[in-house]
Structure 1
Amino acid sequence: LRALGDARLITPLRSAGGHRRYSRYQLRIAARARELVDGGTPIEAACRIVILEDQLEEAQRLNAEYRRAADSTNVARDS
């Protein structure tokens, strides 16, 4: 986790006592990066891949949302 923080893939919050606190999302991202690194991918490349995968997932989610909105507009207009 510290190496991923050093690579600026994830930035943990800090508790009042200075302990690192990671969200579930950050842990999921870290686990994916670890899979890539364990498979022989350099950490910098693994971080870039994880970022791109995350961006793709968000773009697909938004695209599906826009399509649903457009479909509901078309259905209402056709009625």
Structure 2
Amino acid sequence: MPPESPSHATDRFDDDDYPAYTMGRAAEMIGATAGFLRAIGDARLITPLRSEGGHRRYSRYQLRIAARARELVDGGTPIEAACRIVILEDQLEEALRLNEQLRRPAAGRSGVDS
């Protein structure tokens, strides 16, 4: 397999799901500890990918989820409850997005079938 071009490799960093951040860097970025990231992983809020060496790697999307959980925990919510709240918020956001998408008329559609 040929090596990736530099521009293609850089494009992955624009991908919200690309696991670009080590545990230490991820913790630093959200103002938390590595232990916090492990705890929310244990609670199944996020599942980091693993590098070939077995190290955890986090995406920007996962960091946004982790940051929201940290806000709740910092406000006094137990970590298990914070994780459940964030999961439900994420599910609600996705359901609302899908609902809006379904309400829009399909492109090229002339009407509703009877």
Work out whether the TM-score is over 0.5.
yes
CA distance, structure 2, for counterparts of residue 54 and residue 36 of structure 1: 14
CA drift at 1:6: 1.3
Letter in 2 for 1:69: P
CA distance, structure 2, for counterparts of residue 10 and residue 40 of structure 1: 20
CA distance, structure 1, for counterparts of residue 77 and residue 53 of structure 2: 34
Higher helix proportion: 1
Q: How does 1:25-40 map to 2 (within 5 A)?
A: 25-40=61-76
CA drift at 1:18: 1.4
Using the aligned pairs only, state the percent identity: 85
CA distance, structure 1, for counterparts of residue 82 and residue 38 of structure 2: 15
CA drift at 1:69: 2.8
The residue aligned with 2:50 is: 14
* Number of matched pairs: 75
Structure 1 unaligned segments of length 5 or more: list them.
none
Structure 2 unaligned segments of length 5 or more: list them.
1-36
CA distances 1:31-65 after superposition (whole Å, capped 9, x unpaired) = 00000000000001000100000000000000000
Q: TM-score, normalised by structure 2?
A: 0.61
The Cα RMSD (Å) is 1.7
Letter in 2 for 1:67: R
Q: TM-score, normalised by structure 1?
A: 0.86
CA distance, structure 1, for counterparts of residue 105 and residue 82 of structure 2: 35
The residue aligned with 1:24 is: 60
The residue aligned with 1:61 is: 97
